[in-house]
Amino acid sequence: MAVSATADIDPTAEIGPGSMVWHLSQVREYARVGPGCILGRGSYIGPGVILGKNCKVQNFALVYEPALLEDGVFIGPAAVLTNDQFPRAVTVAGVRKSAEDWVLVGVTVRSGASVGARAVCIAPLTIGRWATIAAGAVVTRDVPDFALMVGVPARRVGWVGRSGVPLEANGPDTYTCPVTGERYREHEGKLTLL
């Protein structure tokens, strides 16, 4: 494990073996960072957030609690995973809100998925396995496995394989990864690996 001297790691947080935490990163209380992860410069991991093994959270990305990142998730530079559906700084009485004044909701990112630079994921939602969220996209609803999502709000414009490369159509409902040769089938808006 390599942790920069300028990183702020709460004593209750867990950092897995082989993980690297870079300059000015902050890992809050009770967060769990799995083995082999990389937390880039200035990244923020909120209280109780869980990262699986071999995740990569790039520079200045913000992962707010109660997010869950499964194994092999990529979070691009300055991406944000939110946690408050109805944000306000104050109550209707004008009093500054405290932690008890809202219900935290989280973003779940399934294994192998990627969230591009400056993308924003508006909780609560789940990003499916091996999906790709394009840079700058704003995700407002659940994303199916292998989906390629772009735009504001994000919409599916295609499918990607486990390699991250867009799939090539072979027919009306079959696709092939040009990198691995893996074959996929689409049925009722969902893609499965054959």
Is pLDDT above 90 for 190?
Answer: yes
Indicate the pTM of the whole model.
0.96
With contact defined as beta carbons under 8 Å apart, do 161 and 182 qualify?
Answer: yes
Residue 103 has a pLDDT of 87
Find, among 106, 155, 156, 160, the residue nearest to 129 by Cα: 160
Do 166 and 156 sit in the same domain of this protein?
Answer: no
Residue 181 has a pLDDT of 97
Residue 102 has a pLDDT of 83
Structure token pair of residue 67: 């997010």
Structural domain for 122, as ranges: 2-160
List 109's β-bridge partners, or say none: 69, 127
With contact defined as beta carbons under 8 Å apart, do 20 and 2 qualify?
Answer: yes
Q: Write the CATH number for 22.
A: 2.160.10.10
Do 71 and 103 sit in the same domain of this protein?
Answer: yes
Do 153 and 174 sit in the same domain of this protein?
Answer: no
Do 165 and 88 sit in the same domain of this protein?
Answer: no
Do 47 and 130 sit in the same domain of this protein?
Answer: yes
Q: What are phi and psi of 44, to 5 degrees?
A: -125, 125
Structure token pair of residue 87: 């944000």
pLDDT interval class at 15 (50, 70, 90): very high
User: How many domains, in total, are found in the chain?
Assistant: 2
In the Cβ-directed half-sphere of 102, how many Cα atoms lie within 13 Å? 19
Residue 137 has a pLDDT of 98
Do 168 and 79 sit in the same domain of this protein?
Answer: no
Residue 184 has a pLDDT of 97
Number of H helices, E strands in the chain: 0, 26
Note the pLDDT tens digit of each residue in 84-143: 988 999 999 999 998 888 889 999 999 999 999 999 999 999 999 999 999 999 999 999
Do 11 and 81 sit in the same domain of this protein?
Answer: yes
Q: Parallel, antiparallel, or unpaired for β 68-69 and 107-109?
A: parallel
Do 25 and 89 sit in the same domain of this protein?
Answer: yes
Do 153 and 165 sit in the same domain of this protein?
Answer: no
Compute the 3-state secondary structure of the chain and give helix, strand, coil in percent, each to the nearest 5.
0, 35, 60
Note the pLDDT tens digit of each residue in 22-67: 999 999 999 999 999 999 999 999 999 999 999 999 999 999 999 9
Do 121 and 110 sit in the same domain of this protein?
Answer: yes
Do 98 and 150 sit in the same domain of this protein?
Answer: yes
Do 14 and 27 sit in the same domain of this protein?
Answer: yes
